Amino acid sequence: MNEQQNISPAIEPERYEFRGARAYIFDLTRRDLFKFLGAGALILCTNAKTSAFQESGRSQSQTNDLPKDISAWLHIGENGEVSVFTGKVEVGQNIRTSLTQAVAEELRMQTSQIRVVMGDTLLTPFDMGTFGSRTTPTMNLQLRKAAAAAREMLKDLAAQSWNVPREHVVAGDGKISDALSKNSATYGALLKGRELARLIPDQDPLLPATEWKVSGKPLPKVDGRAFVTGAHKYPSDQKRPGMLYGKVVRPSKFETKLVFADLSAAEKMSGVIVVRDGDFIGVAAPSDELASHAAATIKTDWTAAPQPSSKTVFDYLRNNLEARESYNSSSKISAPANALSATYTVAYISHAPLEPRAALAEWDGDKLTVWTGTQRPFGVREELASVFRISLENVRVLMPDTGSAYGGKHTGESAIEAARLARAAKKPVKVVWTRKEEFTWAYFRPAGVIDVRATVGAGGQLEYWEFTNFNSGGSGLNTPYAAEVRNEQFQPTKYPLRQGSYRGLAATANHFARESFMDELAHQAKLDPLEFRLRNLRDERLKAVFEAAAKKFGWPGNKKSSGRGFGIAGGVEKGGYIATCAEIAVERATGAVRVVRIVSAFECGAIVNPEGLRNQVEGSNIMGLGGALFEAIEFEDGRILNAAFSKYRVPRFQDVPQIEIVLIDRKDLPSAGAGETPIVGIAPAIGNAIFDATGTRLRSLPMVPNGLRIS
Amino acid sequence: MARVTSLVVNGVTRQLDADTQSSLLSVLREQLDLTGTKYGCGEGQCGACTVLIDGKPHRSCITPTGDAEGKIITTIEGLAKEGRLHPLQEAFLFEEAMQCAYCTSGMIMSAVGLLQTDPSPSETKIKDALEGNICRCGTHPRIVAAVQRAARSMKGGAH
List the domain boundaries for chain A.
34-227, 448-701
Are the C-beta atoms of residues A282 and A417 closer than 8 Å to each other?
yes
Range of the domain at B116: 87-155
A-chain residues near B96 (CB < 8 A):
220-221, 224, 611-612, 615
B-chain residues near A230 (CB < 8 A):
34-37, 75-77, 105
Nearest to A93 among B26, B99, B103 (CB): B99
Residue B33 to residue A239, Cβ atoms within 8 A: yes
User: How far is residue A134's CA from residue A306's CA, in Å, rounded to a whole number?
Assistant: 40
A-chain residues near B40 (CB < 8 A):
354-356, 435, 645
Burial of A203 (0-12, 13-18, 19+ CB in 10 A): exposed
Mean pLDDT of chain B: 96
So what's the pLDDT on residue A37? Answer: 31
Nearest to B134 among A232, A650, A654 (CB): A650
Are the C-beta atoms of residues B14 and B7 closer than 8 Å to each other?
yes
B108 to chain A nearest CA, in Å? 8
So what's the pLDDT on residue A12? Answer: 40
So what's the pLDDT on residue A20? Answer: 62
B16 and B53 together in one domain: yes
B-chain residues near A615 (CB < 8 A):
96, 99, 139, 142
Residue A623 to residue B30, Cβ atoms within 8 A: no
B67 and B12 together in one domain: yes
B-chain residues near A402 (CB < 8 A):
100
Structural domain ending residue among the three candidates B78, B107, B126: B78
Amino acid identity, position A76? I
Residue B127: give its domain's CATH number.
1.10.150.120
CA distances from A64 to A7, A138, A379, B2 (A): 12, 14, 12, 57
Contacts with A70 (C-beta within 8 Å, 6 or more apart), sequence order: A146, A149, A150, A153, A196, A197, A198, A199, A200
pLDDT digits (tens, 9 = 90+) for B49-96: 999 999 999 999 999 999 999 999 999 999 999 999 999 999 999 999
B-chain residues near A612 (CB < 8 A):
96
Residue B57: give its domain's CATH number.
3.10.20.30
At the topology level, CATH places domain A448-701 in Aldehyde Oxidoreductase; domain 4 (3.30.365)
Nearest to B102 among A234, A288, A654 (CB): A234
Residue B26 to residue A289, Cβ atoms within 8 A: yes
Handedness of CA A188, A86, A235, A395 (dihedral sign): positive
- Which among A7, A13, A275, A42 is positioned nearest to A144, based on CA atoms? A7
pLDDT digits (tens, 9 = 90+) for B112-141: 999 999 999 999 999 999 999 999 999 999
Peptide bond before residue A702 is cis, with ω within 30 degrees of 0: yes
Q: Does B9 reach chain A within 8 Å, measured CB to CB?
A: no
Residue B100 to residue A402, Cβ atoms within 8 A: yes
Residue A623 to residue B135, Cβ atoms within 8 A: no
pLDDT digits (tens, 9 = 90+) for A625-659: 999 999 999 999 999 999 999 999 999 999 999 99
So what's the pLDDT on residue A370? Answer: 98
User: How far is residue A340's CA from residue A332's CA, in Å, rounded to a whole number?
Assistant: 19
So what's the pLDDT on residue A458? Answer: 94
Residue A228 to residue B45, Cβ atoms within 8 A: no
So what's the pLDDT on residue A226? Answer: 98
- Tell which B residues from 93 to 152 touch A, by Cβ distance under 8 Å: 93, 96, 98-105, 108, 126-128, 130-144
Name A580's bridge partners: A569, A600
Residue A479 pLDDT > 80, yes or no?
Answer: yes
A-chain residues near B26 (CB < 8 A):
287-289
- Give the pLDDT band of residue A462 (cuts 50, 70, 90): very high
Nearest to A229 among B76, B132, B144 (CB): B76
% pLDDT > 90, chain B? 96
B121 to chain A nearest CA, in Å? 15
pLDDT top residue among A330 and A290: A290
Residue B96 to residue A225, Cβ atoms within 8 A: no
Are the C-beta atoms of residues A451 and A472 closer than 8 Å to each other?
no
A-chain residues near B134 (CB < 8 A):
354, 645, 650, 652
Residue A500 pLDDT > 80, yes or no?
Answer: yes
CA distances from A632 to A310, A403, B9 (A): 9, 22, 40
Mean pLDDT over A552-562 rounds to: 87
> What is the end-to-end Cα distance of chain A in Å, rounded?
55
- Which among B28, B13, B113 is positioned nearest to B72, based on CA atoms? B13
The CA-based diameter of chain B, rounded to the nearest angstrom, is 49
Q: Which long-range contacts (CB under 8 A, 24 or more apart) does A526-534 make?
A: A527/A460, A528/A556, A529/A567, A529/A568, A529/A688, A530/A555, A530/A556, A530/A568, A531/A460, A532/A460, A533/A481, A533/A568, A533/A570
- Which among B95, B61, B65, B70 is positioned nearest to B1, based on CA atoms? B65
% pLDDT > 70, chain A? 90
Nearest to B136 among A239, A353, A659 (CB): A353
Q: How far is CA A523 from the centre of its chain?
A: 36
Residue A435 to residue B127, Cβ atoms within 8 A: no
φ, ψ of residue A443 in degrees (nearest 5): -120, 170
Burial of A545 (0-12, 13-18, 19+ CB in 10 A): buried
B-chain residues near A650 (CB < 8 A):
134, 136
A-chain residues near B137 (CB < 8 A):
92, 404, 619, 623
Exposure string of A113-125, with b = 16+ CB inside 10 Å and e = fewer, is bbebbbbbbbbbb
Q: CATH number of the domain at A34-227, out of 3.90.1200.10, 1.10.10.10, 3.30.365.10, 3.40.640.10? A: 3.30.365.10
- Give the pLDDT band of residue B157 (cuts 50, 70, 90): low
Nearest to B141 among A404, A611, A618 (CB): A618
pLDDT digits (tens, 9 = 90+) for A5-30: 333 333 343 344 455 666 777 877 54
pLDDT digits (tens, 9 = 90+) for A233-256: 999 999 999 999 999 999 999 999
Among chain B residues, the shortest Cα distance to A623 is held by B138
So what's the pLDDT on residue A334? Answer: 85
Residue B35 to residue A237, Cβ atoms within 8 A: yes
Mean pLDDT over A95-117 rounds to: 97
Q: Which residue out of A93, A228, A438 would a mutagenesis test of the B interface target, given it has the greatest number of B Cβ atoms within 10 Å?
A: A228
Ranges of beta strands (E only) in A187-267 are 244-248, 258-262
Neighbours of A303 (CB within 10 A): 12
Q: Which residue out of A229, A375, A618 would a mutagenesis test of the B interface target, given it has the greatest number of B Cβ atoms within 10 Å?
A: A229
B124 and B149 together in one domain: yes
- Give the pLDDT band of residue A36 (cuts 50, 70, 90): very low
User: How far is residue A356's CA from residue B94's CA, in Å, rounded to a whole number?
Assistant: 28
Nearest 10 degrees: CA dihedral of A85, A88, A94, A96? 10
Mean pLDDT over B8-18 rounds to: 98
User: How far is residue A205's CA from residue B53's CA, in Å, rounded to a whole number?
Assistant: 58
Structural domain ending residue among the three candidates B32, B50, B78: B78
Amino acid identity, position A625? L
Residue A233 to residue B128, Cβ atoms within 8 A: no
B100 and B48 together in one domain: no
Q: How many residues does chain B have?
A: 159
A678 to chain B nearest CA, in Å? 12
Residue A650 to residue B79, Cβ atoms within 8 A: no
Residue A45 pLDDT > 60, yes or no?
Answer: no
Are the C-beta atoms of residues A606 and A578 closer than 8 Å to each other?
no
| DSSP state letters, A201-220 | PSS--PPPGGG-SSTTS-PP
So what's the pLDDT on residue A253? Answer: 93
B98 and B147 together in one domain: yes
A75 to chain B nearest CA, in Å? 27
Mean pLDDT over A187-204 rounds to: 92
User: How far is residue A317's CA from residue A343's CA, in Å, rounded to a whole number?
Assistant: 13
User: How far is residue A255's CA from residue B29's CA, in Å, rounded to a whole number?
Assistant: 35
Residue A76 pLDDT > 80, yes or no?
Answer: yes
| DSSP state letters, B11-74 | TEEEEEEEETTSBHHHIIIIIS--TTS--S-SSSSS-TTEEEETTEEEEGGGSBHHHHTTSEEE
B51 and B11 together in one domain: yes
Peptide bond before residue A137 is cis, with ω within 30 degrees of 0: no
Nearest to B99 among A289, A615, A644 (CB): A615
A614 to chain B nearest CA, in Å? 10
B7 and B69 together in one domain: yes
Nearest 10 degrees: CA dihedral of A625, A626, A628, A633? -170
Q: How many residues does chain A have?
A: 711
Neighbours of A67 (CB within 10 A): 20
Burial of A270 (0-12, 13-18, 19+ CB in 10 A): exposed
A583 to chain B nearest CA, in Å? 17
B74 and B91 together in one domain: no
Nearest to B140 among A224, A356, A656 (CB): A656
Residue A234 to residue B138, Cβ atoms within 8 A: no
- Give the pLDDT band of residue A332 (cuts 50, 70, 90): confident
The CA-based diameter of chain A, rounded to the nearest angstrom, is 86
Domain tally, chain B: 2
User: How far is residue A24's CA from residue A249's CA, in Å, rounded to a whole number?
Assistant: 13
Nearest to B101 among A227, A651, A652 (CB): A227
Residue B99 to residue A619, Cβ atoms within 8 A: yes
pLDDT digits (tens, 9 = 90+) for A154-195: 999 999 999 999 999 999 999 999 999 999 999 999 999 999
B45 and B24 together in one domain: yes
Q: Which residue out of B79, B95, B99 would a mutagenesis test of the A interface target, given it has the greatest number of A Cβ atoms within 10 Å?
A: B99
- Tell which B residues from 24 to 63 touch A, by Cβ distance under 8 Å: 26, 29-30, 33-43, 45-46, 48
| DSSP state letters, A30-58 | HH------S-S---S---HHHHHHHHTT-
So what's the pLDDT on residue A710? Answer: 61
